[in-house]
A and B are shown apart, each in its own frame.
Chain A
Amino acid sequence: MSRLPAGMYLPGASCLHRLDPLVKLVGFVIFIAAVIVTDSVWGYALLAVFIGGLIVLSGIPLNTIFGPVRRTYLFFLTIFFMNGFFFSAADPLWSRWFFCLSWAGMIQGANVVLRLIILIIAGGILTATTSPMEITAALRRLLKPLGYVGIPVDILSLIISVAIQFIPVLFEEVETIRKAQTARGARFDSARLRERAESMFPLVIPVFLAAFRRADELALAMEARGYRCGKKRSEVAKNSLHLWDIGALFIVLGVLMVQIFVF
């Protein structure tokens, strides 16, 4: 289970699985806002408790939840140390050549890494408890008003839902390619602008090729199963909001309000 690909749906009967997909999606967007406004220790502690609660409620194995984070720990360490050593601060703890270690840089690095980790875990919980079809259907419901002004809501919702599911997958792909190219001598952490720019070439082209190969496979699989854009679609289950759905939304809104007005 620990080697399940990131962003994969795990069927289940937990209360998070049974929550309305639209509520989960709107809740996810509200939670992202809460993460963005967080910049204090207590704020992160609240987010950790909230995420912990979601993990318990979802019933998803811990290995599956933390797998994507564990597999990309080198990436997070790089981001943290690059912030720590390259942040321009007025009162550096230590400095030599281009390097400038500062508290402000380390705090900035910790903020970026913590936000990314929390969002990857939250995104993992969303995609593990909601099937791709449910996410697309929820997006279609959310974007339905745009259809009245001629915007192709079907295509738009498909693009957004696939993009959200591809983000953790591509993070892993970038990390794998980065390791492979570092082993071949690429210098991603060079202090010289030119060397760093040159190091983009061996990273970017393989990443695009790998991403497009995945896109090609997914498009082929969808078309082979009869998926066509712009066709009227029927739904197996009609979703309607229940009391617990509204309660869940209020809880996430509460987290956002606490982050804005308390911490």
Chain B
Amino acid sequence: MMTTVKKAIITAVCAALCVVLPTAFHAVPNAGSIFLPMHIPVLLAGLICGWSYGLICGLIGPLLSTLFTGMPPMAYLPSMLIELAVYGAATGLLMSLVHTREIYTDLYISLIGGMLIGRIVAGLSRALIFAGGSYSMAAWATSYFATALPGIVIQLVLLPSIVFALERARLIPMRYPQ
């Protein structure tokens, strides 16, 4: 069981990684929407610390990134805040609800569920608020699934490996102690 202080510090580190990780990819045009580097720390905060910390990381991470690096631009920030906050919260919530006694199954169910819920909420927020009337199903599928496919694959491969590596290094408690 992690203490509140440790969860807060891990969330802070993940929020800082939201600034640092994408910077390496911003130099390549559209790399942010292809590789989705900012999603990784947010999803990880949700998986490890729970829904409330995932939500906080999803709000603070993009905000700090805009303030420090100008990316994402202010115009995209509100929709990204909603999207990332939902990713963090949904992944954390699913992780606390799903207990199959198999860590990888828990991780994949929570990750895929969180990623789907986040994309649905982000699409709805764009259709109803940020691009009302000019947003189509095709545009949603293209931007959130087709363009982002490399990023989705990277997340699905990387995140369980990171959680497993952190458990092995005893930096986070084991979900199912042997």
Q: Do A and B come from one complex?
A: yes
- Interface residues in chain A, defined as those with a beta carbon under 8 Å from any beta carbon in chain B: 29, 32, 35-36, 75, 78-79, 82-83, 86-88, 109, 112, 115-116, 119, 123, 155-156, 158-164, 166-167, 169-171, 174, 178, 188, 193, 196-197, 200-201, 203-205, 207-209, 211-216, 218-219, 222-223, 227-230
Chain B interface, DSSP helix/strand/loop, else mixed: helix
Q: Judging by beta carbons under 8 Å apart, are B171 and A216 in contact? A: yes
**How many Å lie between the Cα of A115 and that of B66 in the bound state?**
11
Q: Judging by beta carbons under 8 Å apart, are A174 and B24 in contact? A: yes
Q: Is B166 an interface residue (CB 8 A)?
A: yes
Between A and B, how many residue pairs show CB distances below 8 Å? 160
Kindly supply a per-residue 1/0 record for chain B positions 17-30, scoring 1 wherever the CB is within 8 Å of any chain A CB and 0 otherwise.
Answer: 10111011011110
**How many Å lie between the Cα of A162 and that of B6 in the bound state?**
12
Instruction: List chain A residues, Cβ under 8 A from B15.
Output: 159-160, 163
CB-nearest residue of chain A to B24: A174
Chain A interface, DSSP helix/strand/loop, else mixed: helix
- Minimum CB–CB distance from B133 to chain A (whole Å) comes to 29
- Interface residues in chain B, defined as those with a beta carbon under 8 Å from any beta carbon in chain A: 3-6, 8-13, 15-17, 19-21, 23-24, 26-29, 34-35, 37, 40, 44, 56, 60, 64, 66-70, 74, 150, 153-154, 157-158, 161-162, 165-166, 169, 171-172
**Knowing A197-B35, A201-B158 touch, does A167 contact B10 (C-beta < 8 A)?**
no
CB-nearest residue of chain B to A171: B20
Q: Which of the residues A75, A87, A193, A211 comes within 8 Å of B13, measured between beta carbons?
A: A211
Best-buried of B153, B171, B172 by chain A (most CB within 10 Å)? B171
Q: Judging by beta carbons under 8 Å apart, are B12 and A215 in contact? A: yes
- Minimum CB–CB distance from A126 to chain B (whole Å) comes to 12
Instruction: List chain B residues, Cβ under 8 A from A209.
Output: 165-166, 169, 171
Q: List 13 A-B contacts (CB under 8 A).
A: A32-B67, A36-B67, A79-B27, A109-B27, A159-B11, A167-B20, A171-B20, A188-B24, A197-B153, A204-B40, A216-B6, A219-B6, A219-B10
**How many Å lie between the Cα of A25 and that of B114 in the bound state?**
34
CB-nearest residue of chain A to B57: A159
Best-buried of B70, B157, B165 by chain A (most CB within 10 Å)? B70
**Knowing A174-B20, A222-B5, A223-B5 touch, does A160 contact B171 (C-beta < 8 A)?**
no
* For the complex of A and B, 10 pairs with smallest distance between CB atoms: A82-B27, A162-B12, A166-B16, A219-B6, A163-B15, A229-B4, A163-B12, A215-B13, A170-B20, A219-B9
Instruction: List chain A residues, Cβ under 8 A from B27.
Output: 78-79, 82-83, 86, 109, 112
Instruction: List chain B residues, Cβ under 8 A from A215.
Output: 6, 9-10, 12-13, 171
**How many Å lie between the Cα of A14 and that of B27 in the bound state?**
38
Q: Judging by beta carbons under 8 Å apart, are B17 and A119 in contact? A: no
Q: Judging by beta carbons under 8 Å apart, are A222 and B70 in contact? A: no
- Minimum CB–CB distance from B48 to chain A (whole Å) comes to 9
